[in-house]
A and B are shown apart, each in its own frame.
Chain A
Amino acid sequence: MTTAPITESAHHDEVSHGTPWKEYFSFSTDHKVIGIQYLVTSFVFYLIGGVLAELVRTELATPASDFVSREVYNELFTMHATIMIFLWIIPSLTGGFGNFLVPLMIGAKDMAFPKLNAIAFWIIPPTSVLLLLSFFVGPASAGWTSYPPLSLITNKAGEAIWIASIILLGTSSIMAGLNFLVTILKMRIPSMPMNKMPLFCWSMLATSALQLVATPVLTGAMVLLGFDLIIGTAFFNPTGGGDPIVYQHMFWFYSHPAVYIMILPAFGMISEILPVHARKPIFGYQAIAYSSIAISFLGLIVWAHHMFTSGTPDWLRMFFMIATMVIAVPTGIKVFSWVATVWGGKLRLCSAMLFGMAFVSMFVVGGLSGVMVAAVPFDIHVHDTYFIVAHLHYVLFGGSVFGIYSGIYHWFPKMTGRMLNEPLGKLHWALTFVGFNMTFLPMHILGLQGMNRRVAEYDPQFATINMICTIGSYILAVSTVPFIINAIWSWIGGDKASDNPWQALTLEWTTPSPPPHENWEIEPVLVVGPYDYGKNHKMPVNMPPAKAEPVLATGSTTQDEGNPDVANENSEE
């Protein structure tokens, strides 16, 4: 088995005592602490958003509006989506995994701007408290898309708080994006050129570009919407001569790229996790790396596919339809490459791998429905129906959330120095997989048959299917229990993790678990490619330079062999 033998520092035991818990509540500038701060905070919001979702599903268990009032119902789904998107998926994927992994993967001591990093994180807790406080004044209730004029006339105080929160969270996201971009471009160890970078770093590069380019437009839209709301300007308000469609353009110019901000990091994690547990190199390194960049670019020119029924001119609908369909090609390349990576491997079916494979499996469903809704004539039928709800949950839950879980199972040992419990992990996986499909698969049918979204009541003909969805959502709620128990219990008393429990080859596994402050005592040198599995020979320990005490090195095959971009030369089986 290819391993990256590590000559550990003589001070190993003293270095890897982990971070004192108090530090997690401080303004720490250590990227690992910040990463874990992001992950834990966002997970708490996942649970809060989840409770809101269960309330929504409970209302929808029966056709009549009989559980909460219609006003409250609209508040529930608006806050559910807002919390899930802005306080769970974006912060956990970019802030959480991005922060923890990027410096470790490129051999850096920390992010380029550690203070900025800490500020970006510390914007989130007060903002989220602010957002939650809006429950006391009646929170925003115009959907997470907050289209005017509706958003200007319902629950104004809550809407104002919502706008302020989005501006603050957007600012945090821009700061984080800037930090990742500079870190990835400038802080790699000298022996790591771009084309030997782990694929997660490529995907974070693509993500950070989107954060930087798209988020300011959202901020702009929010400022204008806030003016309309608070001081009565008429940028978007038709009663004063404004144009509500302009808001939609500005909103989706950000929010379509935002869906890629929510999936590209997960793409990257899956590209790391599958090879490790399949004991096989990633299939088509360059294709996966460049397709991230392609998706990032194309993602900027497809936004109006959310507006096919808004009165968008015909030629624009056609342009955005074709651009949207084109994105399916780089996305397909990734999916096929992952399948080919797994194919013929020696699969270690641990929880991380199971979630990783489930990610591919579920994301494909969302990708296929995505291409379908890109076709304008069909989208005109299903737009704003449960078909869209199904699509977005297959990509965001089946994609992003499965990706996050996979990442947690995979990197938990590195983050905490403890192993997660495998049987509990598998139980978590099975419950999540079943609950997820039971909740969201039937929604495709609902949408096609005529059930619109964001409704508290519906036609009785849809009662059976909705009941199935609601039961599925309860299974999903239960599925988090084994995970939470597992995470807390393992963090405190789980088996001690070795430095490299998965025999993985990327740099983060060459340092102790958990890594010491500043990650390595001596800057690591890249001697083996990130995906060079399958060499199957015992490797001699890399001898350290004569002067120092034993150093860290990642592997010992010669540099040429460890080169992912020679991939194509030995491509035949």
Chain B
Amino acid sequence: MNVPSSVATLIVGIAITLISVWVGQNNGLLPTAASVEAAQIDNLFNAMMAIATGLFLLVQGALLYSLFAFRKRKGDETDASPIHGNVPLEIVWTAIPSAIVLWLAIYSFDVYQSVNSGGFMGSDHMAHAQSKVVNVSNQTQLADMGSGMANPIDDSLVINVKGLQYAWLFYYDGTDIVSGDLHVPAGRPVELNINAQDVIHAFWVPEFRLKQDAVPGAETHLAFTPNKTGNYPIICAELCGAYHGAMKTRVIVETPEEYEAWYSSRIVATSDNASDVAEASPHAGHQMASLTLNPDNLKDLQTPSVASQEIQALLSSAEPLTAPNL
């Protein structure tokens, strides 16, 4: 029963390959994918996972095998054979990782390009349309355009995001809507202009696989297209103080109809009551959130954040102004 070593090597090679490919496809390590971008990033992750599994098995297998096969026998006081190196082998294990890394760089570049198709990530984006083209009072026109502030160039929904200790505020561009959670319709590109009031925060939606720091004194950008309705957490990923772990809200991806309904109700509520407050004082934004936040949502949050507690307090004091629930 002497299996020739080349056959053994072949079998091991095939086994490692099969396991790696399987792990790449079936690792199930990522949460639900709820944006167009997420699918591409998951493919990249799965490909890397397959390669990593292969290399992992190769190295760990060799070490484990050595541990048992090459242990010193009792009484053997001689050395092993003096092999100082092997140039072809060394070339191989330089060339193959180089090729993998090159491929991975190109692949990642490609994914980044398409995820980032609007060029909307980073702070270097210059051509962002900030102008308020649509007047809030012009309800009919809004309805025609399918709700929300439409970017004149494409159909993107533009939302200005502010991070502050310890809450997120979402200002729907071109309207007076300020919300403590992010409502977006499925299937429509969203563009976020992100800013921070006090310290650095980071806007992260694991289900979108996207993250962008919110930096005080600078504007950063994030673009995505949600494609699966549901409620997903928005998590602050950059240490921002004692209650960093509690700085959470959620993004609510709705059908266009549901979004429309929410949007209209907010337009009414905000233009009736509080549109001037936003401009009045630096804390207005904070207060605005309290006015438009849906108290039911707050109860759903698994960890009640300080911000939400604060907002709750404000809510109770400002009860008559509270916007109608969905």
A380 proximity list for chain B (CB < 8 A): 41, 209-212
The answer to whether A74 has its CB under 8 Å from any CB of chain B is: yes
Task: Report if A535-B82 is in contact (Cβ < 8 Å); known contacts: A325-B104, A360-B63, A375-B44.
Answer: yes
Whether the pair A70, B242 counts as a contact (CB closer than 8 A) is yes
Q: Does A336 contact B (CB under 8 A)?
A: yes
Q: Taking the complex as formed, is B237 at the interface, i.e. its CB lies under 8 A from any CB of chain A?
A: yes
Residues of chain B within 8 A (CB-CB) of A113 are none
- Tell me whether A263 is interfacial, beta carbon within 8 Å: no
Interface membership of chain A positions 126-145, coded 1 if the CB is closer than 8 angstroms to chain B and 0 otherwise: 00000000000000011100
Is A383 located at the chain interface by the 8 A CB criterion? yes
Contact assessment for A450 and B235 in the assembled complex, using a CB-CB cutoff below 8 Å: yes
A310 to chain B: which residues have CB within 8 Å? 213, 215
Residues 197-233 of chain B: 1 if any A CB is under 8 Å from the residue's CB, otherwise 0? 0111010101101111101111010000000000001
Q: In the assembly, what is the distance between CA of A532 and CA of B48, in Å?
A: 39
Q: Assess the A535–B63 pair: CB atoms within 8 A.
A: no
Q: Is the interface of B mostly helix, strand, loop or mixed?
A: mixed
Contacting B at CB under 8 A, from A350-408, are: 357, 360-361, 364-365, 368-369, 371-372, 375-378, 380-381, 383-385
Contact of A281 among B71, B82, B236, B237 (CB under 8 A): B82
Query: Which residue of chain A has the shortest Cβ distance to B108 in the bound complex?
Result: A375
Q: Which residues of A contact B108 (CB under 8 A)?
A: 321, 375-378
Q: When chains A and B are docked, how far (Å) is the Cα of A150 from the Cα of B199?
A: 5
Which B residues are in CB contact (< 8 Å) with A55? none
Tell me if B2 is interfacial: C-beta within 8 Å of chain A. no
Asked if A468 lies at the interface with its beta carbon under 8 angstroms from chain B, I say no
Q: How far is the CB of B270 from chain A (nearest CB, A)?
A: 29
Cβ contacts under 8 Å, A233 to chain B:
none
Complex Cα spacing A347 to B233, Å? 51
Q: Is A448 an interface residue (CB 8 A)?
A: yes
Tell me if B80 and A333 are in contact (CB < 8 A). no
Contact A326 B101 (CB under 8 A): yes
CB within 8 A of A70: which of B79, B237, B243?
Answer: B243
Contact A364 B60 (CB under 8 A): yes
Cβ-closest chain B residue relative to A368: B52
Q: Quick one: CB contact mask for B54-96 with A, threshold 8 Å, 1 for yes?
A: 0110011011001100111100111111111111011001100
**Is B246 in contact with chain A by the CB < 8 A criterion?**
yes
Q: How far is it, in angstroms, between the C-alpha of A376 and the C-alpha of B121 when the chains are bound?
A: 12
Whether A347 and B79, one on each chain, are in contact in the complex, defined by CB atoms closer than 8 angstroms, is: no
- Tell me whether A458 and B83 are in contact (CB under 8 A): no
Complex: A70 Cα to B244 Cα, angstroms = 9
**Is B303 positioned at the interface, with any CB of A under 8 Å from its CB?**
yes
* A452 to B209 CA separation, bound complex (whole angstroms): 13
Residues of chain B within 8 A of A464, CB atoms compared:
none
B245 with A65: CB separation less than 8 A:
yes
- Check: B316 CB closer than 8 A to any chain A CB: no
If the complex has contacts A448-B29, A452-B235, are A345 and B70 also in contact, measured as CB distance less than 8 A?
yes
CA distance A17 to B98 in the complex (A): 52
Q: Name B62's contact: one of A74, A343, A570, A571 (CB within 8 Å).
A: A343
- A534 in contact (CB, < 8 A): yes
Cβ of B212: which chain A residues have Cβ within 8 Å of it? 309, 311, 380
Most chain A beta-carbon contacts within 10 A, residue among B70, B82, B86, B89: B82
Q: Is B122 an interface residue (CB 8 A)?
A: yes
Q: A309-B211, A333-B94 are in contact. Are A1 and B87 (CB under 8 A)?
A: no
- The number of residues on chain B lying at the interface, defined by a beta carbon within 8 Å of a beta carbon of chain A, is 86
A45 to B209, CA, bound (A): 38
When C-beta atoms are compared, the residue in chain A nearest to B76 turns out to be: A346
Measured between beta carbons, the chain B residues less than 8 angstroms from A453 are 237
* A558 interfacial contact with B, CB 8 Å: no
Contacts of B211 in A (CB 8 A): 309, 380-381, 383-384
A371 and B104: CB pair below 8 A? yes
Provide the bound-state CA to CA distance between A322 and B104, in Å: 9
Q: Does A13 contact B (CB under 8 A)?
A: no
> Would A313 and B101 be within 8 Å (CB), given that A280-B81, A380-B211 are in contact?
no
For window 39-56 of chain B, which residues contact chain A by CB distance below 8 Å? 40-41, 44-45, 48-49, 52, 55-56
Q: Please, which residues of chain A bring their CB within 8 A of the CB of B29?
A: 444-445, 448-449
Scoring A141, A280, A573 by chain B CB atoms within 10 A of each residue's CB, the highest score goes to A280
Contact of A534 among B81, B199, B215, B218 (CB under 8 A): B81
B97 touches A314 (CB 8 A): no
Is residue B260 within 8 Å, beta carbon to beta carbon, of the partner chain? no
Q: Which of A158-166, A188-196, A282-290 contacts B (4 or more CB under 8 A)?
A: A282-290
Binds A, one of B112-120, B141-149, B152-160, B286-294: B112-120
- Complex contact A143–B215 (CB within 8 A): no
Q: Are A450 and B206 in contact (CB under 8 A)?
A: yes
Q: In whole Å, how far is B53's beta carbon from the nearest beta carbon of chain A?
A: 9
- With an 8 A cutoff between CB atoms, is B13 at the interface? no
B237 touches A452 (CB 8 A): yes
Q: How far is the CA of A317 from the CA of B109 in the complex (A)?
A: 10
Q: At the interface, yes or no: B302 with Cβ under 8 Å from chain A?
A: yes
Interface-side segment among A209-217, A238-246, A428-436: A238-246
A454–B246 alpha-carbon span in the complex (Å): 11
Give the contact stretch, choosing among A95-103, A169-177, A265-273, A560-568. A560-568
Min distance, Cβ A206 to any Cβ of chain B, angstroms:
18
A414 within 8 A of B: no
Q: Contact check, A381 vs B210: say whether CB atoms are below 8 A apart.
A: yes
Option from B31, B63, B199 in Cβ contact (under 8 Å) with A153 = B199
**Contact yes or no, B206 A346, CB < 8 A:** no
* Contacts known (A368-B56, A571-B86); A325 close to B101, Cβ less than 8 A: yes
Q: Which residues of B contact A536 (CB under 8 A)?
A: 78-79
Q: Could you say which residues of chain A place their CB within 8 Å of the CB of B245? A: 65, 70, 452, 454-458
Q: Is the CB of B79 within 8 A of A280?
A: yes
The answer to whether A149 touches B44 (Cβ under 8 A) is: no
What separation, in Å, do the CA atoms of A286 and B84 have in the docked complex?
Answer: 10
Is A329 at the interface (CB under 8 A from chain B)? Answer: yes
Binary B-proximity of A227-262 (CB < 8 A = 1, otherwise 0): 000000000001101111100000000000000000
B78: A residues at CB distance < 8 A: 1, 279, 346, 536
CA distance in complex: A444, B45 (Å): 13
Residue from B44, B115, B236 whose CB has the most chain A CB atoms within 10 Å: B44
Is B124's beta carbon under 8 Å from chain A?
yes
Chain A 286-340 residues near chain B, CB threshold 8 A: 286-287, 309-314, 317-318, 321-322, 325-326, 328-329, 332-333, 335-337, 339-340
Q: A321-B105, A448-B31 given. 7 additional CB < 8 A pairs?
A: A309-B202, A318-B109, A342-B70, A372-B48, A376-B108, A377-B44, A385-B237
Closest 9 CB pairs between A and B? A238-B217, A534-B82, A455-B245, A567-B84, A450-B206, A311-B123, A313-B124, A70-B242, A279-B79
Q: List 15 A-B contacts (CB under 8 A).
A: A70-B245, A74-B244, A143-B239, A150-B200, A242-B217, A244-B217, A283-B83, A311-B218, A329-B98, A342-B70, A345-B66, A372-B49, A449-B31, A534-B79, A568-B85
